[in-house]
Amino acid sequence: MRRRIIAGNWKMNMTKEEAKLFVAEFLPLVESDCEIVLCVPFTDVHRVWKLTRGSSVKVGAQNVAWADKGAFTGEISAEMLKEVGAEYVIIGHSERRAYFGETDETVNMRLKQALKYGLKPIVCVGETLDQREAGKTEEVLAAQIEKGLDGVSGDVILAYEPIWAIGTGKTATPETADETIRFIRARAEKTLGETSILYGGSMNAANAQSLLDMPQIDGGLIGGASLKPKDFATIVNCR
């Protein structure tokens, strides 16, 4: 089912004390009944879960292993994440693909593991600037969707991340983002049925409303702005 979801991706930021201060400032500012998710570093998951209990805020992780357990140094299992309070998990973020060797095949493996343990996955897809300028956006996205969602059913949230608009200060126009998400939806719904698709390209307090007004955009996967309580609350509270 399509629903409004605003997810913050803290990336490798926020100590436990910083997380505590963020939650204390952020919660009183929330005036929306949309799904709010804080995807935090592994070390913050349990603390943020405790701090947000009883509120509308849910907790997510930023990665999950493709195995139940075993010799996978540095990974963390879906069962471990569930145990400490995670409800959501980001899979296939462009930074995982660029820096840590994530592929469409490993995205698919992680996705199946998340669903096996009842985590709600936010699966990221997106193209580079070179790919867009070469006219390959739809080709790239179609391949990511086909391979990443192969053999999958269930409640899967997608996030469109134009890689050229992450951390660069550039943002796709609302119309461009909406058009691309329309294509993603047409491809993904053959596998998933109706699903929520978020925009993840440098959405911030200034441009969030114009993006969220677009008919195909169901919410946002927020990076830098999710580290600032007032800015993140502005995005969450968009109508």
Lookup: tokens for 19: 């997380």
Dihedral angle sign, alpha carbons of residues 170, 59, 126, 218: negative
Confidence at residue 66, expressed as pLDDT on a 0 to 100 scale: 98
* 10-residue averages of pLDDT along the chain (239 residues): 95 98 98 96 98 97 98 97 98 95 98 98 94 93 97 95 78 91 96 95 93 97 97 96
pLDDT at position 143 is: 97
Round to whole Å and give the CA distance between 151 and 154: 10
Active site annotation includes 161: yes
- The pTM (predicted TM-score) of the whole model is 0.96
What ranges do the domains of the chain cover?
Answer: 5-236
**Active site (annotated) includes residue 93:** yes
3 state DSSP class of 56: coil
Residue 122 has phi, psi (to 5 degrees) of -115, 105
CATH number listed for the domain at residues 5-236: 3.20.20.70
* Per-residue model confidence (pLDDT) at position 167: 67
**Which of 35, 95, 127, 161 is the catalytic position?**
161
The catalytic residue among 35, 93, 102, 127 is 93
The sign of the CA dihedral 76, 79, 84, 85 is positive
